[in-house]
Structure 1
Amino acid sequence: MITISSTHNELRMQILKLTTKYYEKKWAKQDFVPGVDYIPVSGKTFDAEELLNVVDSSLDFWLTAGRYAKRFEKEFARTMDTRYAMLTNSGSSANLLALSALTSESLGERRLQPGDEVITVAAGFPTTVNPILQNQLIPVFLDVDIPTYNIDTNMLEAAISSRTKAIMIAHTLGNPFNLAEVKRIADKYQLWLIEDTCDAVGAEYTGKKVGTFGDLATVSFYPAHHITMGEGGAVLTSNPRLKKIVESFRDWGRDCWCDPGKDNTCGKRFSWQLGDLPPGYDHKYTYNHIGYNLKVSDMQAAVGVAQLEKLPRFIAKRRENYNDLQAGLSELQDMLILPRETPNSSSSPFGFPITVRTESPITRNQLIQYLEQNNIGTRLLFAGNLLKQPAYKNIPHRIVGNLANTDIIMERTFWLGVHPGINREMVKYMVDKLYEAYGRGDSI
């Protein structure tokens, strides 16, 4: 009971108890009503723990990265089998930091410089490619495979030129790309490899976590993703030098590596002499990169700490929903191309991609409109063909081979949700509506 003499710790405990009660009242579980309740393609799944953590953090009023951020970085790095995880404010910022880090002068001859080339694909999300352009580099586009929706590696070696310095591609919708071949080419030509793992947390290739094959990897914690902080992302690496560079670009470009609110971690704050600065210039205000401020708040990290505990069951539920859709739609394969996992991989599905065959009497757009009319959420495979988007009309680039499958994805592909908030009753409803769209009644 709250009294005028209650200590702040006693008040804190009362607030947290009330927070749990608030969650139970506000977000009480409701039964799914087919055709009435909307089935979103993505969404946050949480319980009272996330709410408790964010309230607990807010009571500290530590508004930048703090105890929860440090804990999350340590636990997430361990989860992903990497040495380091550096939190940032979004997956898009993680991509920007990862690619920008490779432009650091401290990397010597291997640094990326304006005009250098980075191999990627056009069938994906814009912010996998944007950092290439933002750093005045040249994207080299390869086509993708259907139905894995990942880079077609048949032309990968042919794409290498004297200016090629890196490969930056995503594991599409949680399905790992052909890491054996991509890594072989990267090692052979001494190319940097950035794995965009934003949609693929928990996926594995040859029994090893994706995000551990490249020099750097990136993750997103937007509500659509495997775990969420609302906004948020991370850069992963096991390379101490790259860790320091990423943190510098994230934290204004400074050379200092003190945590927020800390001073003199290096023990010689006023003893450095860098650049043309006078000896003893405050290390906290010494900059060796043209950086940004892309940090997170501790309240975001607090949500992530609670989410991380649930990650294994989130992934298991995504796989269950994916497998149920795969089995349920098997009798529609004459009309629809269903997804396929990359050989030697175990996906961590972000969504369930479907490509409408040319034999289909209804188009992709007609089909998704039918599903949306029946309260089933759909999404296209992001940008489709990025080069057909208005913003990319005049960008400098190279194409190796053709982008035939990329164009097919633009015209005929969409995806359905598999997130943990979708239950088997919802999956059956989605399957039934797809059969109904083709005049075949309920699913087999």
Structure 2
Amino acid sequence: MSDQTTLRQEILEKVREFHAAGQKGKAAFEPGQTPVHYAGRVHDADDIVSLVDSSLDFWLTAGRFTEDFESGLAEFLDIENVLTVNSGSSANLVAFSTLTSPKLGERRIRPGDEVITVAAGFPTTLNPAVQFGAVPVFIDVELGTYTPTIEAIEAAIGPKTKAVMMAHTMGVPFELSELRALCDRHGLWLVEDNCDALGSRYDGQYTGTFGDLATISFYPAHHITMGEGGAVITNDDNLARIARSFRDWGRDCYCAAGENNTCGKRFSQQFGSLPFGYDHKYVYSHVGYNLKITDMQAAVGCAQLEKLPAFIETRKRNHRRLAEGLAKHSGQLILHETPERSDPSWFGYVITVRPEAEITRTKLVNTLEKARIETRNLFAGNLLRHPAYENLEHRVVGNLSNTDLITTNTFFIGVYPGLTDPMIDHIVETFDSALA
């Protein structure tokens, strides 16, 4: 072995020792004193070793770890194309931008075209359509699942509708098989925001693999983390090539980093009014961005991906324990539900305080927070009630009564793998005390 190889092994072994030293003497959980977070990174020595290993390469942009992560996630989901980006929000931007490409002909989304989504959502699921000049069509969701019905989606389809783009809220799939068929009948694009739902299944198939495109986030609160990071996934090679263009400055060339002339026509094509044979590597077919990840992020992702199956099972177990512990309070609380044919990889445990309950959301949340149990609102509640969207051109189909109730009465608590049994016991006991 070379001196560098030996040194690398020694460095990585020291990293493991460093991590082990940091685990010694950690304080035990103390109810009411130790924070019970709603989410957070869960990592071990393998994650840190992988990160340091990549740093020793000093290949700071996407490289070997990025390739390994993309192929590993593609294998896990059984999907053809995984395209990493720097955040889940950027993934939504790239996915939506892909559908505006002139390369899609008459199916491309143009300004003024409509996109169906939910009002009880996260801003960056909606923002790319708004920023492009498309018109969002908002529908309500069901309480308990916090997803829309297929009937509500179908009722929202109009002559200008081009796409459905919405999230599997908190890991709960919407009716994917039915929606895929509905979109096919009407010639609509389907984009799954899968940022909350990595590992969820509908009819036994992973969410994110039904849509024309789907997005994933690797923010620390999500199922696996790179710190920041995301991905666009698709089984359509043409859409993948367009998405890669938008991610990589808008260039027409699709050569991988360090490669040249993949198409075999680098200097023999005509593009617009450019000189014939203009270098294909510097031809731009879209108004794009630079949204790539670094290889150090991907290195963490590679180690996290190995833990994903266990993380998913722990989320399910924690959610099940909370459901069992809180069932006695169903008279005052609308508890989180599992729709038929769904197997959620839960992001959190969602609770709506019933309007007729003797307690308010504010009082219940304050009680939990005083007990050091973190809570979060269900994202934006009704997006249309926020200052950023007050003057937004849009349509609403049906009423948004459930969305408005979510705005005033709904919150969620954690189920992430960092929670221990004593923490969950403390959560349930605090609910019992508050609702007695």
1:354 aligns with 2:345: no
**Paired residues, what number?**
434
Question: Does residue 31 of structure 2 align to residue 25 of structure 1?
Answer: no
Q: Which residue number in structure 1 is paired with residue 376 of structure 2? A: 379
Return 165-174 or 148-157, whichever deviates more.
Answer: 148-157
Matched with 1:222 is 219
Q: Which residue of 2 aligns with 1:3?
A: none
The reply on whether 1:168 has 2:165 as its aligned counterpart is yes
Among 221, 231, 243, the residue aligned to 1:234: 231
Find out whether 1:184 has 2:148 as its counterpart: no
Report Cα offsets for 1:315-370 as digits up to 9, x if no partner: 00000000000000111111111011121110000000000012222210111111
The Cα of 1:184 is off from its aligned counterpart by 2.7
Aligned equivalents of 1:153 and 1:271: distance in 2? 49
What does residue range 321-340 of structure 1 map to in structure 2 within 5 Å? 321-340=318-337
Amino acid at match of 2:424: V
**Equivalent position SS for 2:179:** helix
2:395 to 390, 394, 398: 398
Q: Determine if contact 1:142/1:152 at 8 Å carries over to the other structure.
A: no
Cross-structure match for 1:14: 10
Alignment deviations for residues 209-228 of structure 1 (CA, whole Å, 9 cap, x no partner): 11111100100000000000
Whether 1:250 and 2:247 are equivalent positions in the alignment is yes
Q: Report the more deviating stretch, 28-37 or 70-79.
A: 28-37
Q: CA deviation at 1:308?
A: 0.4
> C-alpha distance in 1, partners of 2:388/2:191?
23
Note if contact 1:64-1:260 (Cα within 8 Å) is conserved in structure 2.
no
Residues 200 and 345 of structure 2 are in contact (CA less than 8 Å); yes or no, is this contact kept in structure 1? yes
State the superposition RMSD in angstroms: 1.1
Residue 407 of structure 2 is aligned to residue 410 of structure 1: yes
Q: Is the 8 A contact 1:192 1:215 kept in 2?
A: yes
Cα distance in 2 between the residues matched to 1:12 and 1:356: 55
Range 404-413 or range 13-22, more displaced: 13-22
Percent sequence identity is 54
Which residue number corresponds to residue 52 of structure 2? Answer: 55
**1:118 pairs with one of 110, 115, 120:** 115
Instruction: State the partner residue of 2:63.
Output: 66
Asked whether the equivalents of residues 200 and 347 of structure 1 are also in contact (C-alpha less than 8 Å), the reply is: yes
Residue 270 of structure 1 pairs with residue 267 of structure 2: yes
SS of the residue corresponding to residue 61 of structure 2 reads coil
Q: Measure, in 2, the Cα distance between the counterparts of 1:113 and 1:92.
A: 21
1:422 aligns to what? Answer: 419
The residue type paired with residue 294 of structure 2 is S
Match of 2:146 in 1: 149
State whether structure 2 residue 314 is matched by structure 1 residue 317.
yes
Distance in 2, Cα, partners of 1:380 & 1:390 = 17
Partner amino acid, structure 2, of 1:313: A
Confirm whether residue 36 of structure 1 aligns to residue 38 of structure 2: no
Deviations 1:221-280 (A, max 9, x none): 000000000000000100010000000000000011122233333333222221211112
Amino acid at match of 1:327: E
CA distance in 1, matches of 2:160, 2:98: 18
SS of 1:391 mapped into structure 2: helix
Give, in whole Å, the separation in 1 of the partners of 2:341 and 2:291.
Answer: 36
Quick check: 1:198 aligned with 2:158? Answer: no
2:91–2:215 CA contact under 8 A, matched in 1: yes
**Structure 2 CA distance, aligned partners of 1:241 and 1:346?**
30
Q: TM-score, normalised by structure 2?
A: 0.98
Separation in 2, partners of 1:226, 1:26: 24
Task: Measure the CA separation in 2 of the matches of 1:379 and 1:111.
Answer: 37
Distance 2:47 2:259 in 1: 27
Gap runs ≥5 in structure 2? none
Query: Which 10-residue stretch deviates more, 183-192 or 373-382?
Result: 183-192
The Cα of 1:124 is off from its aligned counterpart by 1.3
Structure-2 separation of matches of 1:30 and 1:174: 32
Q: Contact (CA 8 Å) 1:35, 1:375: kept in 2 or not? A: yes
Contact 2:32 2:370 in 1 (8 A): no
Is the Cα contact below 8 Å between 2:177 and 2:210 reproduced in 1? no
**CA offset digits 1:279-322 (Å, max 9, x no partner):** 12111110000101000000000000000000000000000000
* TM-score normalized with structure 1 length: 0.96
Within the candidate set 303, 306, 324, 1:306 is matched to 303
Letter in structure 2 aligned against 1:386: L
Amino acid at match of 2:224: I
Equivalent residue, structure 2, for 1:368: 365
CA distance in 2, matches of 1:169, 1:67: 32
Find the residue that maps to 2:412 and give its secondary structure: strand
Which of 128, 134, 137 aligns to 1:137? It is 134
The Cα shift of 1:35 comes to 1.1
What is the letter of the counterpart of residue 247 of structure 2? R
Deviation of the 1:30 alpha carbon: 4.2
